[in-house]
Amino acid sequence: MYEEKTLICKECGKEFVFTTGEQEFYAEKGFENEPGRCQDCRRQRKSAGRGGERETYEATCASCGGIARLPFKPRDEGRPVYCSECYARQRENG
């Protein structure tokens, strides 16, 4: 059903093989696009955190009043936001 395909990596420009096993995996997961990067570039990109450091936002912790650094921009002023220590305590206590 599947045949190996030779693709060009959009990152480094080298040719790589999109194997039949990879194609089956992509189909199982419902991925519609072929990979744009070779294995090495995918690994490198993944270890770099997908494009470098993430943007963080600061808010006041609802529990201790300290600074909470968040990976998202808080939207609703009515909902409490916790620093990582207080959030961990909240999860432990249910």
pLDDT tens, residue by residue, 43-77 = 888 877 655 566 788 999 999 999 998 888 888 77
pLDDT digits (tens, 9 = 90+) for 33-44: 999 999 999 888
Of 26 and 71, which is predicted with more confidence? Answer: 26
Residues 85, 65, single domain; the answer is yes
Asked whether residue 68 is assigned to any structural domain, the reply reads: yes
C-alpha to C-alpha distance for 79 and 62, rounded to whole angstroms: 9
Percent of the chain with pLDDT over 90: 52
C-alpha to C-alpha distance for 49 and 55, rounded to whole angstroms: 12
Residue 31's alpha-carbon distances to 10, 16, 25, 27, in angstroms, are 18, 19, 9, 6
Residues 9, 43, single domain; the answer is yes
Residues 68, 38, single domain; the answer is no
Residues 40, 73, single domain; the answer is no
Interior CA angle at 39 toward 20 and 8, to 5°? 75
What domain range includes position 36?
A: 5-47
Of 75 and 80, which is predicted with more confidence? Answer: 80
Total domains present in the chain:
2
Task: Output phi, psi for 16, to 5 deg.
Answer: -145, 160
Burial of 88 (0-12, 13-18, 19+ CB in 10 A): exposed
Residues 37, 66, single domain; the answer is no
Q: What is the pTM of this model?
A: 0.49
Of 37 and 93, which is predicted with more confidence? Answer: 37
- pLDDT score recorded for residue 51: 53
